[in-house]
Homo-oligomer: A and B are copies of this chain.
């Protein structure tokens, strides 16, 4: 149970500010004020503004990649896999709503790590699509455009960061079940 380092505090505070105004509109002086220190002092803990963004986004992106590879490998129905994907999004988002805002809205401001991020995202979406396509071919899922289904599900799941903080009495399992019902049982045969 290692306690939060000063660097972590800065990154978490930054994520909160980035959520409200976006990466570009938050200055190092804004961040310093929110921390109660001067801008120059931030550099005792972090290398650059860019580096903060990288740390916020890449950690989460890798969590999605890892979660997806476990789901892909599991020997269950494709509908079950989709439910696991929903739960994966709910859990990651619930544990880091602010960071999810940056991942969704500020990924294009990654510089060195942009290609890596896009690679992870593409692989994730390909795996997601493959689950749906297999579900269609095994008649678990209605014969509809697989891309439309993925687009619809992913849009909802990517917006969770806006919605979860409003439900202060959140039960992650309940939400995941509720969402799965709305998102999946509709496509169920």
Query: A residues bordering B, Cβ < 8 Å?
Result: 20-25, 105-106, 108-109, 144-145, 148-149, 151-152, 155-156, 158-159, 163, 175, 178-179, 181-183, 185-187
Contact = CB atoms under 8 A, between A and B. Distances in A.
Question: What secondary structure prevails in chain A residues at the interface with B?
Answer: helix
A105 B108 CA distance: 13
Contacts of A156: 151-152, 155-156
B187 A182 contact: yes
B144 A178 contact: yes
Given A105-B105, A156-B151, A182 B144 contact: yes
A108 B185 contact: no
Nearest to A26: B24
5 contacts: A25-B109, A148-B175, A148-B178, A149-B182, A151-B156
Contacts of A23: 25
A107 to B, nearest CB: 11
Contacts of A155: 155-156, 158-159
Given A21-B24, A155-B156, A159-B159, 7 more contacts: A22-B24, A22-B105, A148-B175, A152-B156, A155-B158, A156-B156, A182-B187
